[in-house]
């Protein structure tokens, strides 16, 4: 299959690109190379004849038309987005432009391309979204997000992603575009941009800096190893039912404080401090405005319909992730100089 992957120089998109090429798919990576992108993420496939890169913005209709006509993909996997909640609090405009207008522009380009090609049945537009569109859950472990959970986004980021999900469904119902959607929980793993909780914790710990915990650290997330997610995305693309959405979770709920303490314990073993534990560096800071209390995925649909389960427990995944950051300073060190990285963002003062 020939895939056009948007956002393939980002964290999850690059995992999809690497896995798709490894499985023998042809891949065109379309990316605007924003502050969050890193072409080193796809260096392992850059010389592969199955791989091509297109530097383009999903808001640029002419570029999208040119790229679709030139490469003639069988499917589009749409991951390009502004993805950091804290940045969406400080500057929501870019999130609306890329996540909403960009998705609209891509849908229109995809519709024109698919129509010109004679509306092939096998074509797919796979929209990759987040569980944050469903809002926030109570602590009751029996209550989780299913595909039927009503949308209730609360941050500018999740609102922009919810809007894009609605557009994708509308393009299916109105124009018949063959779409599938997926909403996943928090990803982590190699190549995670060093402004998100897990890499920030690992790198701040190693630098002897404070480990900032928003609020009291009780917020719960369902952690999904990025390579498991990439595997699930290719499965949804190939086997998902047209017009349907699939929730993808890690089945690994942890509070932020538990997660940071686990990372500290791993670092204590792998790179012990001269004295004491990395956990001594934990510092509680002002909470994120509107911080959702809990996210958790009910994985019943993807498990029963597509037979998919995550392969990795959060303990195994964190162990691998910490080791990856210890081994790949040449990757993360230059990214720390990018705009806003390492600063406290999203306090909405």
Catalytic residue list: 131-132, 157
Q: Which stretch binds ligand NAD (CB under 6 A): 30-38, 111-119, 265-273, 282-290?
A: 30-38
Among the listed residues 193, 214, 278, 308, the single contact to ligand NAD using CB under 6 A: 193
Which of 25/78 has CB closer to ligand NAD?
Answer: 78
> DSSP states of 228-242 as a string?
HHHHHHHHHHHHSPT
The reply on whether position 58 binds ligand NAD by CB under 6 A is: yes
67 binds ligand NAD (CB under 6 A): no
Check residue 341 for interaction with ligand NAD (CB under 6 A).
no
Query: Among residues 3, 19, 26, 57, which is the contact residue for ligand NAD, using CB under 6 A?
Result: 57
Gap between the Cα atoms of 289 and 122, Å rounded: 43
Question: What are the φ and ψ backbone dihedral angles of 333, each rounded to 5 degrees?
Answer: -60, -50
Nearest distance in Å: CB 209, ligand NAD: 23
Reading phi first (left if > 0) and then psi (alpha if -120 to 50, else beta), residue 119 is in left
Q: Which of 59, 71, 111, 166 binds ligand NAD (CB under 6 A)?
A: 59
Enumerate residues 6+ apart whose C-beta is below 8 A from 70: none
Tokens standing for residue 113:
């391309």
Q: At what angle do helices 11-22 and 226-239 cross, to 10 degrees?
A: 60
Residue 125 phi, psi dihedral angles, 5° rounding: -115, 110
Closest listed residue to residue 305, CA positions, set 235, 226, 233: 235
Residue partners of 129: CB distance under 8 A and separation at least 6: 161, 164, 165, 181, 182, 183, 184
- Told to check if 80 binds ligand NAD by CB under 6 A, we report yes
The residue within the footprint of ligand NAD, chosen from 10, 189, 194, 212 (CB under 6 A), is: 10
Given the rule CB under 6 A, which of 127-135, 147-155, 165-173, 274-282 is the region that contacts ligand NAD? 127-135
Query: Can you tell me the distance from the alpha carbon of 274 to that of 268, in angstroms, rounded to the nearest whole number?
Result: 10
CB 177 to ligand NAD: min, Å: 18
Report CA dihedral (55, 37, 30, 87) to the nearest 10 degrees: -110
Contact between 263 and ligand NAD by CB under 6 A: the answer reads: no
3-state secondary structure at position 164: helix
Residue 11 binds ligand NAD (CB under 6 A):
yes
- Indicate whether 166 belongs to the interface with ligand NAD (CB under 6 A): no
Find the binder of ligand NAD among 5, 12, 67, 312 (CB under 6 A): 12
* 37 contacts ligand NAD (rule: CB under 6 A): yes
Is 32 among the residues that bind ligand NAD (CB under 6 A)? Answer: yes
- Site for ligand NAD contains 250 (CB under 6 A): no
Would you tell me which residues interact with ligand NAD (CB under 6 A)?
6-7, 9-13, 31-34, 36-37, 57-59, 79-83, 98, 102, 128-130, 161, 184, 186-187, 193
């Amino acid at each position: 299959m020939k895939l056009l992957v948007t956002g393939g120089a980002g964290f999850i998109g690059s995992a999809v690109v690497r896995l798709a090429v490894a499985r023998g798919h042809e891949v065109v990576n379309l990316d605007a190379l924003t502050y969050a992108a890193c072409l080193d993420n796809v260096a392992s496939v850059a010389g592969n004849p199955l791989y091509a890169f297109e530097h383009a913005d999903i808001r640029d209709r002419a570029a999208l038309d040119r790229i679709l006509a030139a490469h003639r993909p069988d499917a589009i996997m749409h991951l390009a987005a502004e993805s950091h909640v804290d940045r969406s609090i400080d500057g929501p405009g870019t999130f609306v432009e890329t996540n909403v207008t960009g998705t609209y522009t891509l849908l229109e380009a995809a519709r024109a391309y698919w129509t010109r090609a004679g509306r092939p049945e096998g074509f797919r537009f796979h929209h990759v979204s987040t569980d944050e569109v469903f809002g926030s859950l109570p602590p009751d472990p029996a209550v989780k997000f299913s595909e039927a959970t009503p949308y209730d986004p609360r941050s500018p980021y999740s609102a922009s992603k919810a809007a894009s999900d609605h557009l994708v469904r509308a393009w299916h119902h109105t124009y018949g575009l063959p779409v599938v959607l997926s909403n996943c929980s928090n990803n982590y793993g190699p190549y995670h941009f060093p402004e998100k909780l897990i890499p920030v914790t690992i790198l701040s710990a190693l630098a002897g800096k404070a480990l900032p915990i928003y609020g009291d650290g009780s917020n719960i997330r369902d952690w999904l190893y990025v390579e498991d997610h990439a595997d699930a995305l290719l499965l949804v693309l190939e086997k998902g039912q047209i017009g349907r959405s699939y929730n993808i979770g890690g089945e690994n709920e942890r509070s932020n404080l538990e997660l940071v303490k686990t990372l500290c314990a791993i670092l204590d073993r792998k790179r012990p401090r001269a004295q004491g534990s990395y956990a001594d560096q934990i510092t509680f800071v002002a909470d994120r405005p509107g911080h959702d209390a809990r996210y958790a995925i009910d994985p019943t649909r993807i498990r029963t319909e597509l037979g998919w389960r995550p392969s990795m427990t959060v303990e195994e995944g964190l162990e691998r992730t910490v080791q990856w950051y210890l081994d790949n300073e040449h990757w993360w060190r230059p990214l720390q100089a990018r705009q806003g990285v390492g600063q406290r963002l999203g306090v909405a003062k």
